[in-house]
Amino acid sequence: MIHIKDLRSGLNIYKALSSEIRLEILTLLQRNNSLNLNDIAQKLQLSNGAVTMHIKKLEESGLIDISTAGGKHGIQKICYLNEDVLTIELQDKGVENFYEYEIKVGHYFDYAADPTCGLATKDSIIGEFDNPRYFADPDHIHADIVWLKKGFLEYRIPNYLKKNQRFKELQFIFEISSEAPFYNNDWPSDIFFYLNNVELGFWNSPGDFGGTKGACNPSWWPPHLNQYGLLKLLRINKDGTFIDGCRISDVTIEDVGLQDHPDIKLKFAVTDEGTIGGLTLYGRSFGNYEQDITARILYEEVLPE
């Protein structure tokens, strides 16, 4: 996610978005996940030189990233979106009170997993594929990718708020996809979210993405398996619950009743209530985004009664 708090700091991005051709390039990457320079030039009916100029501006702005890969005609430059979400604050709201917490995807405290399932660190598979017993292996806390066809993963975030402070908004940022055998770019899955066992709603993952190597994947990760997910922002505040700004339910932060709990329990689940297409969570050593699950807690000071 690219978050512009100061309008002037986004000048390079505004310039990059000011071109109709560059907007068309971004649209192509949205639809295709990744494309090489030749593909983009052919689809836009432009010369490689013209496309290269536009790609350079998009890369400098941080909107896209480029990796190299060997092909039949030598080294190819592969382009893909660097971030899934762009937000711009148009009004200065002052300094927010907040704290952030990073959670490794393997550092869950409770789980249920039906095959296909598994987990891996940046160095190796933990145990063996499709054997749920290894989800209890002590090394699971070091996992940087976790996947399951059906079940849940639940994480704990500490509640550091004092008596004179109140929750204002919770934000969770994570890379996520469905879970198919090997991979399948068209593999829908309804993934549900819970806070302290209160259902917040669900998001429909379109697929379990592969075919192009994830930017952060270790060299040993097999190419026939899933490679990357989509970066998502889950928010809950007084107005409801949202994914990337789109409302998924009317559940508010007051409905969850976090104030008197010593911690915040976040659960990802695939259940019989929706389309069962599995769940994969990517940590900083897998997928396209070098990050773990980020929890951001925004709060406000309240006057004593």
Give me the pLDDT at residue 8, please: 65
Give me the pLDDT at residue 179, please: 98
The Cα angle at residue 109 between residues 106 and 113, in degrees rounded to 5: 70
Give me the pLDDT at residue 30, please: 86
Cis check for the bond before 116: say yes or no (omega within 30 of 0). Answer: yes
Task: Assess contact for 218 and 285: CB atoms under 8 A.
Answer: yes
Give me the pLDDT at residue 259, please: 77
- Cα–Cα distances (Å) from 106 to 48, 154, 251, in that order, read 43, 10, 27
3-state secondary structure of 227: coil
- 190-203 pLDDT, tens digit per residue, is 999 999 999 999 99
Q: Give the residue ranges of DSSP H helices in the chain.
A: 11-16, 20-32, 37-44, 48-61, 253-256
> Per residue of the chain (305 residues), what is the pLDDT tens digit?
676 766 666 778 888 898 999 999 998 988 888 889 889 999 999 998 889 989 988 988 889 888 877 666 667 888 888 777 777 666 555 446 899 999 999 999 999 999 999 999 999 999 999 999 999 999 999 999 999 999 999 999 999 898 889 999 999 999 999 999 999 999 999 999 999 999 999 999 999 999 999 999 999 999 999 999 999 999 999 999 999 989 999 999 999 988 778 889 999 999 999 999 999 999 999 999 999 999 999 999 887 65
Give me the pLDDT at residue 33, please: 80
Biggest CA-to-CA distance, the chain: 73
Give me the pLDDT at residue 305, please: 59
Give me the pLDDT at residue 80, please: 85
- 18-34 pLDDT, tens digit per residue, is 899 999 999 898 888 88
Given the structure tokens 């007084």, which residue do they identify?
238
Q: Which residues of 36-45 are buried (b: 16+ CB within 10 A; e: fewer)?
A: bbebbbeeee
Give me the pLDDT at residue 261, please: 81
Q: Which residues of 252-274 are buried (b: 16+ CB within 10 A; e: fewer)?
A: ebebbebeeeeebbbbbbbeeeb
Given the structure tokens 């310039």, which residue do they identify?
15
Domains along the sequence of the chain with CATH: 2-86 (1.10.10.10), 95-301 (2.60.120.260)
Give me the pLDDT at residue 117, please: 98
Give me the pLDDT at residue 72, please: 63
Given the structure tokens 């010593």, which residue do they identify?
262
Give me the pLDDT at residue 171, please: 96
Give me the pLDDT at residue 185, please: 94
State the DSSP code for 183.
-
